[in-house]
Structures are given as structure tokens and as C-alpha cells.
């Protein structure tokens, strides 16, 4: 009986040793080599895992940076140019400095400008409400006001304004990760060029209907009159099915398009107040000029 036990132990030990040897050589043959620079790049990233770079996480983005021939199409919006410069230094590659971006809400459909025609009762989700019907107003393009974009923001850069029913973006906290853009089922949030002092000019409307219909939905909707297109000398404004769009990369912030918009659908944000000369002041100056001319003529005749 003891011999059976001994043979069993020897047999099992032999099988275990042979299996371990086989597994060792198999692991050595099929092992995957990982570039140590991936860990270095991963440590240089902010680890927000927001997906703004187009990858599911910072680790995946680090792997893409190491494997890519150039960093031209790769950018971390949270870390910005400083982080990308560090990544380029680690990999010994060159990186082109990208212009910072910021999110904007292209809708002014507040309670004042876009009256509610019904009351929604259901799940507090823009995606759900959008899939059910046009919303609690007649506008099929405007903000639904359920705050999906705010919930998607991982940086506390957004909040819902109770007075207007619209989301508000805090420029100082926005990292342009694009999470709010993806969360909005109406595509009213856009990443635009971040200018100095956070100044922005954009068409705050996404309604593609004809002017008359759009105006019925919202009093500050774009009506496709093309006045802004004709006024812009920099080819920064284009029309797409009755809707004007301002290219932030071409716009020079001259504000001339704002003054000609009949529905105030073009917003100018963070600009100093305009110096407006009233008609009364202009008329007074004209009158004084004429009077001074008459006095001069009279004095000449007296001489």
C-alpha cells in the first residue's frame, strides 16, 4: 500500500515538473514585449480618463503615442500643449502646438424666447426625451434642458441655469474633452477655438428650418437671411440649409456680423461694451457744426 502511495507522489510530481517546463517555454515563446516608454508616457498624462483624446483611457492613449510615427493627430485636451510637449520629449518626437478649445452652447431657447407648449413627465434624460418626441416646445432642434451634458462633465465645468432652463459652461474649468458634445442628442454643444480673454462670437442656434418656421419656434432663431454672410469680409461665415455658421478658426472677432443680425441669434461674449452714438447726439453735433458755419459766415460779412 505504501508503494502505491509512493508511486502516486512520484508520478504527480513528474507531471507537475514537466507541465511547469512546458508552460515556461510556451510563455517565453508567446510573451508580448511592451515598450517601457508606454509607462513613462502614461505617467506624464493627467489620468482623467475622459475620452477627449478619442481613446478609452490614458493608457490606451499612451500606447497610441508610442506606436505612432508622428503626434500630429494625437492630442490630450486635459493636459494641453504642456503635457503633449512632455510626451514628445519622452518619445523624441516633435509636436505641433494646438490651439486650445472651449465648449459653447449653441441655443438661446430660454423660457423667455421659446415658450413651452407642453409639460414633459418621464425620465430626466435628454436622450430619452429626444427619442420620444420633439420636446416640451415646438422646436425640434433646441435644448431639452434635462442636463445630460452636465452629468457627463467630469470637471464641474457646467451647470443648469434654473432661470433659462439652459446649460451654462464655465470657461475657466472647461478642458474641451468633448464629453458634453457626445452626451447632447441635439448636437447643440460645439468645441470652438478659445480666444484671448475667452471672447467668442458664434451663431447660437442650430435650427435648419426656413426663417418663418424657425421664428415661430424661437424669437432669437437664425432665419437664414444671409446678412451676416454678406457683411463678413473674411469668409468666416457660411450658410447650411437656412442656418449660418461662423468658423472660429477664420473669425477675427470684428463683431460686424453681430450688428446686422435681425434676430440677435449671433452672440458676442466677454467683449467690452460698445460705444453707441445715439441719433440725438449725432443730430446735436450736426446742428452745432451748422451754427458755427453760419457764425463764421456772418463774421466774414461784417468785415
Looking at every residue in the chain, the average pLDDT score rounds to: 87
Structural domain includes residue 281: no
Q: What is the pLDDT of residue 301?
A: 46
254 backbone dihedrals φ, ψ, rounded to 5°: -75, -20
* pLDDT per position as a tens digit, 187-229: 999 999 999 999 999 999 999 999 999 999 999 999 999 999 9
Q: What is the pLDDT of residue 29?
A: 73
Domain boundaries, position 186: 101-269
Q: What percent of the chain has pLDDT over 70?
A: 89
| Residue 298 pLDDT > 50 | no
Residue 193, all three cell numbers: 477655438
| CATH code for the domain in which residue 199 is found | 3.30.70.20
The answer to whether residues 183 and 264 belong to one domain is yes
Name the band, by pLDDT with cuts 50, 70 and 90, for residue 175. Answer: very high
Q: What is the pLDDT of residue 299?
A: 44
The answer to whether residues 73 and 116 belong to one domain is no
H or E element: which one contains 22?
helix 2-30
The answer to whether residues 261 and 129 belong to one domain is yes
* pLDDT per position as a tens digit, 49-85: 888 888 988 999 999 999 988 898 899 998 889 999 9
Opening angle at CA 191, ends 185 and 192, nearest 5 = 140
Per-residue pLDDT, averaged over 32-42, amounts to 84
The answer to whether residues 111 and 85 belong to one domain is no
Name the band, by pLDDT with cuts 50, 70 and 90, for residue 303. Answer: very low
Residue 92, all three cell numbers: 523624441
Rounded Cα distance between 244 and 247, Å, is: 10
Structural domain includes residue 161: yes
Work out whether strand 189-193 and strand 158-160 pair parallel, antiparallel, or are unpaired: unpaired
The answer to whether residues 60 and 113 belong to one domain is no
The answer to whether residues 152 and 254 belong to one domain is yes
Q: What is the pLDDT of residue 4?
A: 76
The answer to whether residues 65 and 107 belong to one domain is no
Structural domain includes residue 31: no
The answer to whether residues 67 and 169 belong to one domain is no
Q: What is the pLDDT of residue 22?
A: 85
The answer to whether residues 259 and 222 belong to one domain is yes
Name the band, by pLDDT with cuts 50, 70 and 90, for residue 11. Answer: confident
CB-CB contact of 94 with 88 (8 Å)? yes
CB-CB contact of 97 with 87 (8 Å)? no
Residue that the C-alpha cell 517546463 belongs to: 21
**DSSP 3-state assignment of 141?**
coil
Structural domain includes residue 300: no
* pLDDT per position as a tens digit, 243-290: 999 999 999 999 999 999 999 999 999 999 887 655 444 555 555 455
The answer to whether residues 113 and 86 belong to one domain is no
Structural domain includes residue 22: no
The answer to whether residues 126 and 265 belong to one domain is yes
| CATH code for the domain in which residue 55 is found | 1.10.15
Q: How many domains does the chain have?
A: 2
Structural domain includes residue 8: no
The answer to whether residues 107 and 62 belong to one domain is no
Residue 276, all three cell numbers: 453707441
Amino acid at each position: 500500500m505504501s508503494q502505491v502511495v509512493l508511486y502516486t507522489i512520484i508520478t504527480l510530481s513528474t507531471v507537475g515538473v514537466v507541465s511547469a517546463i512546458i508552460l515556461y517555454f510556451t510563455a517565453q515563446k508567446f510573451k508580448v514585449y511592451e515598450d517601457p516608454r508606454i509607462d513613462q508616457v502614461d505617467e506624464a498624462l493627467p489620468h482623467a480618463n475622459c475620452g477627449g483624446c478619442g481613446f478609452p483611457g490614458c493608457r490606451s492613449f499612451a500606447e497610441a503615442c508610442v506606436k505612432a510615427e508622428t503626434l500630429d493627430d494625437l492630442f490630450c485636451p486635459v493636459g494641453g500643449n504642456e503635457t503633449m510637449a512632455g510626451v514628445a520629449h519622452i518619445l523624441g518626437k516633435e509636436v505641433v502646438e494646438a490651439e486650445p478649445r472651449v465648449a459653447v452652447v449653441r441655443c438661446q431657447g430660454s423660457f423667455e424666447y421659446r415658450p413651452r407648449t407642453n409639460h414633459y413627465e418621464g425620465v430626466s434624460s435628454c436622450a430619452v426625451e429626444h427619442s420620444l418626441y420633439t420636446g416640451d416646445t415646438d422646436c425640434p432642434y433646441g435644448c431639452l434642458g434635462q442636463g445630460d451634458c452636465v452629468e457627463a462633465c467630469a470637471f464641474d465645468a457646467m451647470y443648469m441655469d434654473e432661470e433659462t432652463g439652459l446649460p451654462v459652461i464655465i470657461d475657466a474649468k472647461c478642458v474641451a474633452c468633448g464629453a458634453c458634445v457626445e452626451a447632447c442628442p441635439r448636437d447643440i454643444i460645439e468645441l470652438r477655438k478659445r480666444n484671448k480673454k475667452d471672447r467668442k462670437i458664434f451663431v447660437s442656434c442650430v435650427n435648419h428650418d426656413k426663417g418663418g418656421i424657425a421664428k415661430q419656434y424661437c424669437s432669437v432663431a437664425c432665419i437664414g437671411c444671409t446678412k451676416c454672410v454678406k457683411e463678413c469680409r473674411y469668409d468666416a461665415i457660411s450658410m447650411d440649409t437656412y442656418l449660418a455658421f461662423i468658423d472660429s478658426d477664420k473669425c477675427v472677432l470684428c463683431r460686424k456680423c453681430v450688428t446686422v443680425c435681425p434676430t440677435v441669434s449671433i452672440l458676442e461674449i466677454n467683449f467690452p461694451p460698445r460705444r453707441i452714438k445715439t441719433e440725438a447726439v449725432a443730430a446735436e453735433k450736426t446742428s452745432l457744426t451748422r451754427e458755427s458755419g453760419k457764425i463764421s459766415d456772418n463774421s466774414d460779412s461784417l468785415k
